[in-house]
Structure 1
Amino acid sequence: MSANATVPGATGGPTFAEDSVLLYWGVSGLQGYMYFTRYNDKLWVRAVAATMLILDFVSVALICQSMYYYMLPHFGSFAPLSAVTKELSIECLIAAVITFISQMYFAYQLYMVKSPGITAAVMNSLVILFGIIGLGGAVGCVGMMFLYPHSIFMNRNHVFAILAGIAKGFGAAADIVATIAMCMFLKSAETGMKRTSGMLKSLMHLVINRGILVTVAQILLLITFFATAGHLYWLAVHINTTKLYVNTFFGMLNARTSLQERFATGHMSMSGETTVNTLRLAAPMSPKREKMGELDTQDYAMSAIRVTTSSTVADI
C-alpha cells in the first residue's frame, strides 16, 4: 500500500493532512509568533525556539500524513495497522528531540540559578543524566520501528517495549527532578517583601504547572503503553505529549511579559532596534542588609527575570 494513496472520487484542493496541520499547529504557531515579536533574547535562545517551532510543525505534518494513511484510503480495514509507517517512525524521533531540548533548556535554567551547595549540582546532573538516558531509549525505539515495523502495533517486540519504558520512565524522572529543584530554589529565595514574594510565588506556579503537565503526560503514556498493549490508546497520548512540551516551553518564555507587567514599577527605554524593559523590584539595599540575606534588587532585561540574594542568583 502506498502512503500517498488517495480517496476515490476525491477532488482537488487542500488535502485532509494539509488542513489538519494548519489547525493542529495553530497554538504553537501563535506562541512562536508572540515570542519572536516580543522578545530579543540571546541568539542561541532564539535559535532553540526556532528549532522547536520547526520540529513541531514537521511532527504535526508527519502525524497527519500517517493518520490520513490509516483512516481514509483504507477506511474500515485494519490491514494498514499491521505495520507502522516510516512517517510515524520519524515523528517519534522528532518527538524525542523536542522532549530532550525542552528538558535541557530547563536544566540550563537550573544551572543559571547558581544555587550553592552540592544538592543543586547533583539535582541538575540528574536532570541531564535522566534526559540523556530517555533520549537514548527513544532513539532505540525508533531503530526498532524501522527494523521491525510489523512488530510495533501488533505482536509488540519485547525490546521495543523495554526501550519505550526506559524513554518514558526516565523522561518523567527528569521532569520531576527539574520541577522539585527549581521549586526548592524559589522557596529558598523567599523574603518578607510583598512584591518579590509575589513574583517568586508566580514563578513557582509556572514551574509547578509545567512540571505537573509534562510529568502526568509521560506517566499516562507509560501506563497506557503497557496496560493496554492490545490497543493504540498510547499513540493518542504520545501525540499530545509532544505538543505539551512545545507549548509549555513557549509558555514559560512568553509568561515573562505578564510577570513583568504585574510586578514592574520602572520604565521603558528604546535603544536602536533593541527594546529594554528596566524593572525594579524595590529600592536598592545597603551592603549591610545584603549580608543579612535579604533580596537585592537588580535591573533585568526582557530576556530574563533575575532574582538575586546574597547566596543565590537566578535568571529565569
Structure 2
Amino acid sequence: MSANATVPDATGGPTFAEIFGPVFWGFCVSLILGGVSALQGYLYFTRYNDKFLVRAVAAMMLVLDFTSMALICQSMYYYMLPHFGSFAPLGAVTSELNVECLISAVITFTSQMYFVYQLYMVKSAGMTAAVMKALIIVFGMVGLSGAIGCVAMMFMYPHSIFTNRNHVFAVLAGIAKGFGAAADIIATIAMCMFLKSADTGIKRTSSMLKALMHLVINRGILVTAAQILLLITFFATAGHLYWLAVHINTTKLYVNTFFGMLNARTSLQERYATGHMSLSGETTAYSQRLVAAAIPASPKTAAHEKFGELDTQNYAMGAIRVTTSSTVADI
C-alpha cells in the first residue's frame, strides 16, 4: 500500500470512511462470530466429556479467540476514535495487532493439526494416506513459519505495513496464506477420501458417512475461501484495508468450524442412535475407525472396554454403538 493510497489529497483521494469503512464492518462481523464462538464453547464443555487432550485444545482455542477479540477491539479503538478523521495512525501498526496476528497463526495451525490428529486416529494404511498427512503437516508448518515471519516484520518495521508496504512482509504474508489454504484443501480431500472408502453400502452407515463428509467439506470450503479471499484482497486492493477486514474474521471462522465439528455429534447421535447397528466385516471395522476419528467419542472406562456395556453416566450425550463380530465402537 503506497503512502498516497491512504492519505487523501486535493485530486480526490480516498476519504476516511472509504479507508476505515470496510474495517469497521469487518469488525462488526467479528463481534458476531466471537459471540458464536462463546456459544459453541459453552455447548461443547457442558455436553461432552472428551479426552483431556481434546478438551485442552478446545479450551486453548477459546481463550486465544477471546484474547484475539480483545486485541482487535483495542486496535479498532486506537485507529478510529482518538484521531478520528486523521490518517496519522496508519503510519504504524499497533503492538496489539501484531500479537493478534500471532494468535491467528497459532489458531490456524492448531486447527490444521487437529485434522492430522483425526486422520492419524483412522490408522489408514497405504502410501497415499501417509503422503497426505505429511503434506498437511509440512504445508501447515510452512504457513505458520510465514505468519511468524510476518509478525516479526511487523515488530521490526511497524511503519511499513499499512503504508509503503515492506516487500518482505508481503512475500511472507503470501506464503502464510497460500500454504495455509493448501493445507486446508489437502486435509478436506484426505478426510473425504477416507470416509468415502469406508462406505459399506448399508443405508444407515452410508447416511452417517455422508453427513460427516458434508461437515468436513463445509468446514474446508469456509476456511479455504477465507484464506483465498485474504490473499486476493491483500495483493489486489493494496490501496485499501479490505484485507484487514477479512483477516480479523478468518481466525473466528477457524474457531467456529473447530467447535462446529465437535458439537455436530449431538445432531448425529439424535439422528442415528436409535437402536444398535450389528454389522460385520473388516471394511465395517475400518469404517468405525474413520467415523470415530472424524467425530471423537467420549472416553470409555476399562469395564466398558471389557464387557462392552454402555453407561450413560459416563457419556455426556450417549453414543452411537456399532457392533461387529470383533469390535464394539462407540461413535
Question: After TM superposition, is the score higher than 0.5?
Answer: yes
- Please show how residues 1-316 of structure 1 align to structure 2 within 5 Å: 25-266=34-275, 280=276, 282-285=277-280, 290=281, 293-294=283-284, 301-302=297-298
In 2, the alpha carbon distance for the partners of 1:207 and 1:134 equals: 21
Q: CA deviation at 1:73?
A: 1.1
Q: Is the 8 A contact 1:66 1:87 kept in 2?
A: yes
Q: Is the 8 A contact 2:204 2:272 kept in 1?
A: yes
Q: Structure 1 pair 188/228, CA: closer, same or farther in 2 (3 Å)?
A: same
The list of structure 1 runs, each at least 4 consecutive aligned residues, that deviate by more than 2 angstroms after superposition, is 19-25, 293-310, 313-316
Q: Which amino acid aligns with 1:140?
A: G
CA deviation map 1:62-92 (0-9, x unaligned): 0010001111111111110111000001100
Give the gaps of 5 or more residues in structure 1: 1-18, 267-279
Q: Structure 1 pair 190/284, CA: closer, same or farther in 2 (3 Å)?
A: closer
User: Larger deviation: 295-304 or 206-215?
Assistant: 295-304
Give the gaps of 5 or more residues in structure 2: 1-27, 300-318
User: Larger deviation: 176-185 or 299-308?
Assistant: 299-308
In 1, the alpha carbon distance for the partners of 2:210 and 2:30 equals: 37
Number of aligned positions between the proteins: 277
Q: Is the 8 A contact 2:181 2:227 kept in 1?
A: yes
In 1, the alpha carbon distance for the partners of 2:273 and 2:322 equals: 14
Aligned to 2:315: none
TM-score with structure 1 setting the length: 0.82
Q: RMSD across aligned C-alpha pairs, in angstroms? A: 2.7
Q: Structure 1 pair 308/136, CA: closer, same or farther in 2 (3 Å)?
A: farther
In 2, the alpha carbon distance for the partners of 1:43 and 1:121 equals: 26
SS at match of 1:25: helix
Q: Report which structure shows greater RCO (CA 8 Å, sep ≥6).
A: 2
Report sequence identity in percent: 79
Q: Structure 1 pair 63/294, CA: closer, same or farther in 2 (3 Å)?
A: closer
CA deviation map 1:2-51 (0-9, x unaligned): xxxxxxxxxxxxxxxxx999766211111000000000001111010000
Q: Is the 8 A contact 1:175 1:215 kept in 2?
A: yes
Q: Is the 8 A contact 2:198 2:287 kept in 1?
A: no
TM-score with structure 2 setting the length: 0.78
Q: Is the 8 A contact 1:20 1:64 kept in 2?
A: no
Aligned to 2:8: none
CA deviation map 1:266-311 (0-9, x unaligned): 4xxxxxxxxxxxxx3x1143xxxx15x456896974469898999x
CA deviation map 1:241-279 (0-9, x unaligned): 11000000000000011111100124xxxxxxxxxxxxx
Which protein is richer in helix relative to its size? 2
Q: Is the 8 A contact 1:256 1:305 kept in 2?
A: no
Q: Which amino acid aligns with 1:120?
A: A
Q: Structure 1 pair 298/209, CA: closer, same or farther in 2 (3 Å)?
A: closer
Aligned to 2:306: none
In 2, the alpha carbon distance for the partners of 1:143 and 1:199 equals: 45
Q: Structure 1 pair 59/23, CA: closer, same or farther in 2 (3 Å)?
A: same
